[in-house]
Chains A and B, each alone.
Chain A
Amino acid sequence: MSIDLSQFFEVFFEESFEGLDAMEAELLNLEPGAEDSETINTIFRAAHSIKGGSGTFGFTSVSDFTHVLETLLDQIRDGQRQLTAEHVNLLLKSVDCLRALLGALQAEQAPDLSEANELRLKFEVILGMSDGVAEEPVESLQESSGESTYQIDFKPLPHLFKTGNEPLYMISELAELGELETTAFYDGIPSIENLSPDECFLSWRFFLTTIKPESAIKEIFEWVEDDAHIEITMCGGLFGKVASNADVETANVNIESNSGLETPSPKPVKAEVPVNSLGKKAEPKKPSEQSSTSIRVGIDKVDSLINMVGELVITQAMLSQIGEQDITETTITSLQEGLAQLAHNTRDLQENVMRIRMLPISFVFSRFPRLVRDISQKLNKQVELKLLGEQTELDKTVMEKISDPMVHLVRNSLDHGLETPEQRVAAGKDPVGTVTLNAFHQGGNIVIEIMDDGQGLNTEKIKEKAIANGLVQESDELSADEINELIFMPGFSTADAVSDISGRGVGMDVVRRNIQALNGSVEVSSAPGVGSTFTIRLPLTLAILDGQLVKVAQHTYIIPLISIVESLQIDISKVSRVGKDLDVLRLRDEYIPILRLYDIFSHQGAIEELDKTLLVVVESDNHKVGLLVDDLLAQQQVVIKSLEANYQKVDGVSGATILGDGRVSLIIDISGLIKLSGLKRPGSQELLVEAKAVEVA
């Protein structure tokens, strides 16, 4: 049988990465000297599985490296060795190293072994291993040229069957090694009243002529060494065989002639057991299809889907039954009931199908203990990390994309939010600061909070910086919240000196942009001396969007609800014209550029008079703009479909969906729309200045 092992690689990589994550998390939990055995066990098991899998699938670089890890862990587990902080650090480094090795192998690249070798050496020093002596002695191969004959006496102890071993299969294994003569002995069989069907009373003598070494014979009886008397002697040449053979024949009965006898063996006895299809070669398997990504789904989710489909089938049967009847008052009523049932089933099914892609956010959270440990060490800060709501589920795709922004926010909290122990003590606080990650569901969204009990945002400093960068005017009167919002402006950084923790350039604006790209939002609230909280809101899935349907001329578009700030009727007296053709609405103390959707999308027949239309104020990339629409229609959840798949990218449109009536409707991409409108920097200084100038005039 030839089986292409590569079909299991993807699962192997996936579980190995998960195993490494688990190892890392447990290692961070370890207190050297006070380690509990279950934690060590979990770490050991993860290393053990990776070693076993990588060995089986031929990734020897990984299995060799994991071997030293496993040995150390095994010794710690067995209490032969005390866990030290050095061990933990080394093991953590190994986790990183294994990640890199496996990552390279997964990408089908040659892994860089230099770090692995270096770490391995360190382990070997700890383990006191001398230079790479092969662990298991190479089995000395016997002369395999020429045949030898062995006499094998095999006398199972009565309990042999209870080990699950079957002498007959061993005999047929022997028969495969060469020419076999078998003799069974019945002398051990007790009288019928003493006969126990559970026990083995037979014994055998074999003569095997084979070219295989003696070790091959031993291997067959390897499992029953302690459950039988086994003697293997080489009879040498033909002479010896004949001699002993004659000896046997006089004393014993050949098993074949007695095959009809009742024997104490629970299974029928035959001297020659035919080799069944197991020995045959199966046709080679074709190379497995490349499945780049997969998700593992809990059986409960699959079961509930099957239930839903079952209900759907029942509803369908009911509806088709109604369809076959004549239309009467009653059938219409039951038809309506059936359709309501169908709607219900469909909704349930949709929700459950979405759940398949959902994973607990612990997959993201789990990387933070390590991150916090490393960074707080570097910064000489004492930090306790609290994780809440780890079981909150969200879409796998969203999860993959939210990880980086979260890392950035946590780093920011550690670097800028939390004070040093001295500062904290001086402020009358616990020297150990706390960073809390909290996740929960709210409506159709997942909310992730990153909280710290640090010094809070320094509004004065932020404002100073913003003024220096020309983001706001000295004279602007801003509330604390408005000032805090400024940190999300492009190019903003409050760090006194650029540290290697928060980095330069990649600022909060990027975080916000990445989150908005997921149709999400991020906000900050802060109290001086008490701490800051960043709140990320994300849709549970990228496949569904809460949309506001709007009418432009005879066309229906969808605006993502999350980007809508408010919708309003335009007060003409607050509108001023800037430049040639841009209208700006003064809304409270902001100037909102008015984008005429019909104009940008080149549609005829829309309402053009500002006072007869509606303005939907949306926010994107920290800019507020107003979209002019004829009317607001319903709000509903829509399933996002690709327009690009069969067509091409359309500026100002992020995708399409199918409405209840079966028609296609396009989803507006706000930031794309702003670009398309030619409005370079809505809300920019020049615009504001111009607008004010107009107002004065």
Chain B
Amino acid sequence: MNEQADLNQQLILGGQQDEDQYLTFMMAGEEYGMDILAVQEIRGWEDATVIPNAPAFVKGAINLRGTIVPIIDLRLRFGIESVAYSPLTVVIVVSVEIKDQLKVMGLVVDAVSDVYSISEEKAKDVPDFQDSDNAQYVHGLVNVGEKMVVLLNLARVLDLSANYMQHG
């Protein structure tokens, strides 16, 4: 997979010390970023085993080298209209500490985009959201060149015990 090679390349190049690195991905034309340290691997979409009565954004569970890993569709999690999966659909496997427990989950996104080094200071700029429920999932907003990147708070996004955005 080319993206992975690129990603690895960028990981090796690294950033400066007071900066955190973020992996960004595209979803419905927006660019989102997550702490790269949480990312375990990036893989293509494969059929998951449906988990009964799970919320719609839980696509099921897959076997990741012997571990059962749930797959979360981030579009549905954020209440964005879903698209059909294709062989190009990407699953980012992350490991996140949720309520003192390290959980490994897969996130379905449209495509992986880039790796940025973003200073701690910049990442903290959280704008005032008036509207949405999604605000709780946002860690910060940063501008990288012309683009705006939404940095996610993965622990919140993946805390499934919190109120579901959508029920299945």
Minimum distance in angstroms from A40 CB to a CB of chain B: 52
The answer on a CB contact under 8 Å between B61 and A664 is yes
- Give the segment of A77-85, A114-122, A312-320, A644-652 that binds chain B: A644-652
A664 to B60 alpha-carbon distance, docked (Å)? 9
| B134 sits at the interface (CB 8 A) | no
Question: Which of B's residues lie within 8 Å of A, judged by CB?
Answer: 47-54, 58, 60-63, 66-70, 103-105, 160-161, 168
Chain B residues in 8 Å Cβ range of A645: 67-68, 103
Answer whether A663 and B63 are a contact pair too, CB < 8 Å, given A646-B104, A648-B161: yes
Using Cβ atoms and an 8 Å threshold, which residues of chain B touch A662?
Answer: 63
Q: Is A252 in contact with chain B by the CB < 8 A criterion?
A: no
Flag if B53 contacts A643 (CB, 8 Å): no
List, in ascending order, chain A residues with CB within 8 A of B52's CB.
600-603, 650, 652-653, 666
Residues of A within 8 A of B69 (CB): 646
Instruction: Determine which residue in A603, A641, A648, A653 has the highest number of CB atoms from chain B within 10 A of its CB, and name it.
Output: A648
Is A170 in the interface zone, CB < 8 Å from B? no
Do A647 and B51 touch (CB < 8 A)? yes
Cross-chain contact A658 with B53 (CB below 8 angstroms): no
5 contacts between A and B (CB under 8 A): A643-B51, A646-B105, A652-B53, A664-B68, A666-B51
- Expressed in whole angstroms, the minimum distance between the Cβ of B56 and any Cβ of chain A is 11
Q: Using known A-B contacts A646-B104, A647-B61, A647-B160, determine if residue A658 contacts B66 with beta carbons closer than 8 Å.
A: yes
Q: Which residue of A is nearest B161, CB measured?
A: A648
- CB of A23 closer than 8 Å to a CB of B: no
Interface residues of A in 641-685 (CB under 8 A from B): 641-643, 645-648, 650-653, 656, 658, 662-666
Judged by a CB distance under 8 angstroms, whether A555 is at the interface is yes
Is there contact, CB below 8 Å, between A646 and B53?
no
Q: Closest approach, in angstroms, between the C-beta of A121 and any C-beta of chain B?
A: 48
Q: Which residue of A lies closest to B101 (CB)?
A: A645
How would residues 311 to 334 of chain A score, 1 for a CB under 8 Å from any chain B CB and 0 otherwise? Answer: 000000000000000000000000
For this complex, into which size category does the number of interface residues on chain A fall?
20 to 34
Q: A640 → chain B, closest Cβ, in Å?
A: 10
**A603 surroundings in chain B (CB, below 8 A):** 50, 52
**Chain A residues within 8 Å of B160, by CB:** 647-648
Find out whether the CB atom of B50 lies under 8 angstroms from the CB atom of A656.
no
CB A667 to nearest CB in B, in angstroms, measures: 11
The verdict on A656 contacting B68 (CB below 8 Å), with A602-B168, A646-B103 known, is yes
Q: Which residues of B contact A641 (CB under 8 A)?
A: 66-68
Contact with B along A224-238 (1 / 0, CB 8 A): 000000000000000
Contact across chains for A664 and B67 when beta carbons are under 8 A apart: no
A78 to B84, CA, bound (A): 86
Chain A residues with CB under 8 Å of B51's CB are 643, 647, 650, 653, 666
Given A603-B52, A664-B48, 5 other A-B residues pairs in contact with their CB atoms under 8 A: A645-B68, A647-B61, A663-B47, A663-B63, A664-B62
Most buried by A among B50, B69, B103: B50
Residue numbers in A under 8 Å from B62 (CB-CB): 664
Q: How far is the CB of A677 from chain B (nearest CB, A)?
A: 12
Interface centre among B52, B69, B70 (most CB of A within 10 A): B52
Bound together, the chains give a CA A642 to CA B52 distance in angstroms of 16
The answer to whether B67 touches A555 (Cβ under 8 A) is no
> Which residues on the B side are within 8 Å of A658 (C-beta)?
63, 66, 68
Is the CB–CB distance between A646 and B70 below 8 Å? yes
How far apart are the CA atoms of A645 and B51 in the complex, in Å? 14
* Assembly CA distance A54 to B83 (angstroms): 67
Q: How far is the CA of A373 from the CA of B104 in the complex (A)?
A: 52
- Say yes or no: A666 contacts B49, CB within 8 Å: yes
